Chains A and B, each alone.
Chain A
């Protein structure tokens, strides 16, 4: 088992390196020149040449890649071109904000999705199941910005009980911070809920065909206990997989929601700097997102390996 887990982690690291190459190469292919961009209208051929020299842009691509990668590994992403601020410091504060929002959404969404999935299986093909599935699918089918603005309309305009802009700052009390993110967290929950719920339902239904489910029923267990004690533990691997995918989405895919609620997270940061064509920031954010995504998928795979009793308890 240890070997399997180790292999999976090694694969994840290799994948992350490959992604870093892609991110670096992608930004190299883009037209335009960093020195040119920095100098703007005041650029003369001489000043551009000297700035290129100064920024080390004349070195071959692979040298610049390793220089960049080495910096990223030691927590140094360089400085933003547009603002001149240290990227790492910026990312640190914003990543924390994003993680906080994602965690709050996950704490609401994951148990809710799993419980709704269990209930849907318990009353499968009945009206409860159809109602749960219908509502969940409807909430997923609406685009995030629609849900976001609908929430703003109802809870900020019609019944003004919550703030429409999620401003947070350092040293903000925890309670206020929570209140500020209720709406974006709700929007995110509604977006990811259905996927996890449907997968939980499908994974458990798949297991419900097994002979050991009949054994449990013939012991006199109640329908819900059959699902909870006998079906759920065997459906855990696919459920964890989809949960992790959605957690990754919560962190990486929040761009739209963060923009709607003007929340100072990674997504907002990325969007701002894409519009400013600030390449080093975009690279750094891209790498952080890739790392989060790959890490969560490793966690999912490792959990699935550990959840298998055949691997955990070999003969």
Chain B
């Protein structure tokens, strides 16, 4: 460990932040039980020198954000710092009281949130929000602060740096907002910035630009940073050191190279090698069972064309992955196939016959053959039904199963998703994110469909949990011979699961074929951008990727 023998009360020169034996607790109110206190962070200590970047990494619930916010004395939603010291610039901020916190927030420490789109106030112009902290703490006049802000907009390569401040948050794209938020944090010239998953909500092609902008800004302003993320490949690009956390405890802390090349703990190793699922591509069969032919679809009564002349085929028991950034029409393709959005032109044929365009016109048998799993498992289930009812419903609806016969089949399905009978009487709220997604998988399998459409099913999950879901889907495909239409923006996932790939861009399929063919050069410009934007766990990848690009990403 880097700094285990620091003596209390004797700050080292050059040390900016020194957190010692931090303990953070929260009171939870489980329904029907007495409130209880749980410990979120157990005795975590860390130090950060001026101008250095420390990456905090772990799955959700690891306490990364909680630790990051503790450097500002902030507890989100009733979270309390109950033990330890937080020494910033040589003084324990926990002793300063509310007034002390307010003086340091926005002046010594600034915060960049995961979703800038939500973190900006929709009622105020960007410039007013960017200079707010500077003016509040009186470190500059309004004119100086605005000049500084414009310079920062330029540095972060925002378009129209002179005038972008006059815009409202909703008039600026997500990637640009994230950079404006970084400018906002830098504007009051703090000593430390807490970056809390600043690129997680962005498309890969946008993420790379924001990442590069943040890295340059950190280098040029000599600000120190805590960089919080669950993506080791991202944090490897910007950090000097990395700290791995799990369940609120320290797992491993070391230099970036050591963590990603020679992890010492088993858990770190699991995080480092998370994306490596070997999946042998299957050759397409003779005839596809589902064909999408020249489908064009639009929203708003034909005004907004979101699918243009799309054709893809799906073969029995195989996986077609559809990749693209947000707004490329991936989910709309799924809606057109399922009949939720009737196509304006083109046809969807299933087993050699055309499917009715509208969902309402399809017979029950057609509905059974096409099932869906969604990104947000928790909102895709009725919170007032038990797991048994949720999985049993398609058995009753499609096969008329009742009583013991249905319960037996529910138990089998629970076995298939590796969850066991004990879960039959549980409610969705009692399950973890991964378990919820498994229940959704079981529900779709219960209909014995030929095709399951998986819409970003692993995007909301932690990498290790997502990996488990992918492995389960591959196993189930082996046993049940079910085909998947796998919609995702994550190319690593695609490599693990696909037999064929369709790359979508602005409503069109720009590249389509077997996995090996699509992923083999020469690439078209967009596929090249998409592939080269996926962060790799390698120091210096970011600079290489930026310099090697042929096309600028959207949102610029």
Q: Measuring CB to CB, which residues of chain A are less than 8 angstroms from any residue of chain B? A: 210-212, 214-222, 230, 233-234, 309-310, 313, 315
Contacts and interface: CB of A to CB of B under 8 A. Distances in A.
Given A230-B121, A234-B121, A315-B171, A218 B111 contact: yes
B107 A220 contact: yes
A309 B122 contact: yes
A118 B167 CA distance: 28
A215 B121 contact: yes
Nearest to B133: A219
Interface residues of B, number: 30
A255 to B, nearest CB: 39
Given A220-B103, A220-B106, A220-B133, A215 B123 contact: no
A218 B129 CA distance: 12
Given A218-B106, A218-B110, A219-B132, A234 B122 contact: yes
B113 A214 contact: yes
Contact of A310 (B76, B106, B118, B170): B170
B445 to A, nearest CB: 37
A57 B72 CA distance: 80
A215 B119 contact: yes
B105 A218 contact: yes
B118 A212 contact: yes
A217 B111 CA distance: 10
Contact of A211 (B72, B113, B133, B167): B113
Nearest to A313: B168
A58 B149 CA distance: 78
Interface of B: 72, 74, 76, 101-107, 110-111, 113, 115, 118-124, 129, 132-133, 136-137, 167-168, 170-171
A217 B170 contact: no
B170 A315 contact: yes
10 contacts: A211-B115, A212-B119, A216-B132, A218-B74, A219-B110, A219-B132, A220-B104, A221-B132, A222-B102, A234-B121
Contacts of B102: 220-222
Given A215-B111, A309-B168, A220 B137 contact: yes
Contact of B113 (A215, A220, A233, A310): A215
B133 A309 contact: no
Contacts of B168: 309-310, 313
A219 B115 CA distance: 17
Contacts of B120: 212, 215
Contact of B118 (A211, A217, A218, A222): A211
Contacts of A220: 101-107, 133, 136-137
Given A220-B106, A309-B168, A315-B170, A211 B119 contact: yes
A138 to B, nearest CB: 30
A315 B118 CA distance: 17
B164 to A, nearest CB: 13
B105 A217 contact: yes
Nearest to A221: B136
Given A211-B113, A309-B168, A315-B170, A219 B105 contact: yes
A98 B54 CA distance: 68
A212 B119 CA distance: 4
Given A210-B118, A222-B102, A315-B170, A233 B124 contact: yes
Contacts of A222: 102
A218 B137 CA distance: 12
A309 B128 CA distance: 15
A120 B119 CA distance: 24
A234 B119 CA distance: 13
Contacts of A313: 167-168, 170-171
Given A211-B119, A218-B111, A221-B106, 8 more contacts: A212-B118, A212-B122, A217-B105, A218-B110, A220-B105, A221-B102, A234-B123, A315-B171
A247 B72 CA distance: 45
A233 to B, nearest CB: 4
A212 B113 CA distance: 9
B192 to A, nearest CB: 12
Given A211-B113, A315-B170, A216 B103 contact: no
A310 B115 CA distance: 18
Contact of A309 (B76, B113, B123, B136): B123
Contacts of A217: 74, 105
A212 B170 CA distance: 13
A100 B78 CA distance: 48
A219 B102 CA distance: 8
Contacts of B132: 216, 219, 221
A313 B124 CA distance: 11
A285 B543 CA distance: 76
Contacts of A309: 122-123, 168, 170
Contacts of A219: 105-106, 110, 132-133, 136
